[in-house]
Amino acid sequence: MAPDKNRATAAAILPLVGGAQNITSVAHCMTRLRLGLADRSLVDDDALKALPAVMGVVEDDTYQIVLGPGTVARVTPELEAMVAESGAGAEPRPEVAEHAPTASELAAQGAAIKEARKARNATPFKLFLRRIANIFVPLIPALIGCGIIAGFNGLLINLEWLPSITPALAAIASGFMALIAVFVGYNTAKEFGGTPILGGAVAAIIVYAGVANIEAFGQKLSPGQGGVLGALGAAVLATYVEKWCRKWVPEAVDVLVTPTLTVLVSGLVTIFGLMFLAGEVSTGIGTAANWLLDNTGAFAGLVLGGLFLPLVMLGLHQALIPIHTTLIEQQGFTVLLPILAMAGAGQVGCAIAVYKRLRHNTSIRTTIKSALPAGFLGVGEPLIYGVSLPLGRPFVTACVGGAAGGAFIGFFSMLGDKVGSTAIGPSGWALFPLLDGNENLGLTVAIYGGGLLVGYLVGFLATYFFGFSKQMLIDLNADVDAGESPTARAEAEPAPAKAPAGV
């Protein structure tokens, strides 16, 4: 997308979310533009969904506009610039031409479901999980970039090509992971209301080589022990120590005493407590993940692949982010992400079946045609919120497809062929460049590709044969855009002749 097109997209979005003065914050993740809004009622959802660059909208703690990978990273700074350039006076909101949204009835149902989900997700535990996600999501671009370089470097090493270059590529790919604890500490302090650089300073203790000379709980510490979990705990502790100091330390000496006490107290606790404890927890996570897939791989894959989308709906999937990061830090890849990615494959298969079954509903079919390319690349929100979830039963059959794909990959893990990802974020076809495992890359890619095919096929078959009741087919199989009623369609098409007895 050219720079002027990115700016045009941002310019089109801005008035539809209430203008610059209605925006309180702007951020983005892998696929979504995340906006904090002062007044939700000023947003024109239908007009936003009608924009060519918008794949869908999701309402959570922020208003999220799905633009897709790559596009969102280019549109976000353009929108930020427009918000920054806006004057103090409120600009009049331009009139938006009436535009019938694609599959408007389904979109309305999807919006209602999202609103209800937002209310259910506003619990203290789920809000805490969102804060944890906010710590790790900004790290995803670096994880992806370094992961792809690591995979490319591994390929060069296996082929014995460019031996003078591979050490440099290894350094580039590994540098971020060697210091990821520092970035986690920085983001944690920022998220919990502390001074970010103090959180990073305390977390840096974990990766400092000199901790190898320190003994805690009768054991020598090792650099990196405790990993991202230790860094998270250390930075949270530093934030609370800093807040206590701000409250009690006199202002005249605050600039000297508060940073010193924050780093000293939280640093000592980190060295003589958190590093050991977090190290044990991190080791336990890796051991548990490997045991689960080694011994119950097919069943574990079926459960994880089948339940991932419901976990997303409940907001509980965010708890997996630090687990993924811990596995990548320990083993070089996370064995869970490829299995969870099968949920998207089930959605794609489901959508194709809906397209085939509702051959007279041009509105829904148009939605599916526009959303399928993104679905193949792992961006599932348009298919989920625009098609399967509002329809109900197809969402369940899509989960069945995800379960089948997960079971396929889990089965090979039981045979000793682990499939992993060197980063988190991408899914679907976009995950291929990040694949890694304990066997050769060709086999790893084949297993993951096989899982996707199984997910597509089972999602399609489950939806085609079990995703609709007879009444649903009558109600939905009409050309809504042409004004045709379901009853007229049913009356126009004679019922199929009954087969002779004995046939």
DSSP string, 207-265: H-GGGGG-EETTEE--TTTTHHHHHHHHHHHHHHHHHHHHHHS-HHHHHHHHHHHHHHH
**245 part of the active site:** no
Q: How far apart are CA 388 and CA 397, in angstroms?
A: 9
Catalytic: which of 29, 146, 350, 399?
29
CA dihedral 38→44→45→46, nearest 10 degrees, is 180
CA distances in angstroms from 208 to 93, 275, 369, listed in the order given? 54, 12, 52
Within 315-440, where are the H helices? 320-331, 337-340, 342-357, 362-376, 381-383, 389-391, 393-414
Residue count (the chain): 503
Helix pair angle (104-121, 362-376), 10° resolution: 50
Could you tell me the strand order of the sheet in which 56-59 lies? Answer: 23-28, 32-37, 63-66, 56-59
- Identity at 246, one-letter amino acid code: R
Indicate the SS3 state at residue 333. coil
Closest alpha carbon to 360 in 205, 473, 279, 446 = 473
DSSP string, 452-492: HHHHHHHHHHHHHHHS--HHHHHHHSS-GGGT--HHHHHHH
- Identity at 160, one-letter amino acid code: E
Q: How far apart are CA 169 and CA 152, in angstroms?
A: 9
Q: How far apart are CA 172 and CA 431, in angstroms?
A: 20
For 22, half-sphere exposure in the C-beta direction (CA atoms, 13 angstrom radius) is 19
- Identity at 161, one-letter amino acid code: W
416: alpha, beta or left, given left = phi > 0 and alpha = psi -120 to 50?
A: left
Q: How far apart are CA 358 and CA 326, in angstroms?
A: 44
Token pair belonging to 312 = 């997303």
Token pair belonging to 140 = 């995803």
Bridge partners, residue 56, by sequence: 66
Question: Is the Cα torsion angle 163, 165, 168, 169 positive or negative in sign?
Answer: negative
Give catalytic residue positions: 29
